[in-house]
Amino acid sequence: MKGEKKVENLEEVRSRMKSTPTLLDLTDSPSLEDTRCSRKAVSGIVSDSRRVTPGSAFFALPGIRTDGNLHVEEALKRGAKTIITEDEDLAVPFSVTKVCVNDARKTLAKFSKRYYGRPDENLDLVGVTGTNGKTTVTTLTRHLLEEEGRPVGLIGTVRYHLGDREVPSYRTTPESTDLYSLLKSMLVGGCSEAVMEVSSHGIHQSRVSGLKLGVCVFLNLTRDHLDYHQNMETYFNEKRKIFNGINSELPKIAIINGDCPYGQRLVNELPPQVRVLTFGMNEENDFRARNLDIQERGTEFILDAPTGTHVVTSPMLGRFNVMNLMASLAVVHSMGRSVSDSIRKVCAFEGVDGRMESVDEDQGYKVVVDYAHTPDALRNALSMLRECTPGNLHVVFGCGGDRDRGKRMEMTRVACAGADKVWATSDNPRTESQENIFKDMRKGIPKGAYAHFIDDRRRAISLALDAAKEGDCVLIAGKGHESYQEVQYTAIPFDDRKVAGELLQAKAFA
């Protein structure tokens, strides 16, 4: 993927990025009622009326819970001089330019890319999608690619790395205007490569429309977000848009989980000009793991790859992290880097916040916090911990409110099947009553099984810790790195890692 010309002209590109003209070119999106100008000077492009500054162009985006057209008045009060909308009947002052378009989200992506100087075309950009594992794969891939003096950008669920600095993440896949701004910052910060998580919501809402991805990675597809996508087929159709040219131009390379049925479908559907690399446990994969030795502090396995056979020692736990590691190594290989060198760097990987993160206060039993919030992720987490837990396995988990109700029963069924003691509690109830959520969850309790239902998440964690004995393991699942709970449109501070640590210290003192 990497060409010498791109590297030689990097300083020139950075200079150009710093001086991108603040013009919104409207020539190919004429207004239905205002043709006074085709190039409009603007101070910024925004889709949130609260972020409007004088001279901004405001995109009134349709939404699930609100409509951007309802906030045009606020945008105008804050000084917006251009309004882009799908509403032909929207009235604006004569001094304000109104542009009517068929699809405001796609238009926002198109204008954002142009406004910020097409930064994606000057980066070797890797997009990673899948139900589970995106954050681990993108963070690990960045770790393997980064060298001294050559920073690698990252856009993901936990944080954004911009080359010369990092900032907290506020969305897995940002809105297109923020996305292109971040990519531009990466170029200015010295990056020539970047890795990003691509969510199904981000694809469907055109946040990555037109984005040039050189490498696309498909990790897996299991039940999640069906409140939004309605069914698995629609969910899969969104994911594959970044592979088949519907979202943007075709990627040069597609890296696909060959063990996943949806991955196998994707491989068979791709056009011949896309180079495919598969990974998995099955023999026919390009990157194949065998002879797994799963231990309490890591995993060792033999990797058969296009570069030969390698012995891999990883500090990451479990089979699913072997899959994540193979995906990252396939990316490294696709970008012309040494697989052998990357395998040596794996040992220095410190993991990802809230992903199989241990909480240790010398308590005599293991406490692990993980983001597992889908049935498949919870099943994988419990299976992995079962292999390295000599005693009982406890799990504390919940299900979110205002989301896929069918997932609740399945989550409970997985928890009861995989753990010795189950503590069901709140997660992000949002606007739904906890009792309604529990009612759905209780349907998943198998005959003869039992689960404790505790409204208060802190108390549920405390009771699980009280029940644990030496040699046991307590998995606190669902929230991972998150530091809040969503209740009635309010973010209430709550960090599983911090709460578990405080409780362990208090119990030790007592």
List, in sequence order, every residue forming a beta bridge with 108; answer none if it has no partner: none
Distance CA 381, CA 510 (A): 31
Q: Over the stretch 467-507, which tens digit does the pLDDT of each residue have?
A: 999 999 999 999 999 988 999 989 999 999 999 999 999 98
- Best CATH choice for the domain 22-104 from the list 3.40.50.720, 3.40.50.1820, 3.40.50.300, 3.40.1390.10: 3.40.1390.10
- The type of residue at 417 is A
pLDDT of residue 298: 85
The CATH fold assigned to 116-346 is UDP-N-acetylmuramoyl-L-alanine:D-glutamate ligase (3.40.1190)
pLDDT of residue 39: 60
- For the chain, which residues make up each domain, given as ranges? 22-104, 116-346, 357-509
Residues of the chain with pLDDT under 70: 1-40, 64, 225-227, 229
How many residues does the structure list for the chain?
510
SS3 assignment, position 299: strand
Angle of the 134-145 helix axis to the 319-334 helix axis, nearest 10: 50
Q: Which CATH architecture has domain 357-509?
A: Alpha-Beta Complex (3.90)
Q: Do residues 313 and 298 lie in contact, with contact meaning Cβ atoms separated by under 8 Å? A: yes
Classify each residue of 241-254 as buried b or exposed e, where b means 16 or more C-beta atoms within 10 Å of its C-beta: bbbbeebbebbebb
- Note the Cα 18 to chain centre separation in Å: 28
Instruction: Give the dihedral sign, CA 498/504/509/510.
Output: positive
pLDDT of residue 33: 40
pLDDT of residue 347: 93
Nearby residues of 44 by Cβ (< 8 Å), 6 or more positions away: 22, 53, 55, 56, 57
Q: Over the stretch 158-188, which tens digit does the pLDDT of each residue have?
A: 999 999 999 988 888 999 999 999 999 999 9
Distance CA 238, CA 179 (A): 19
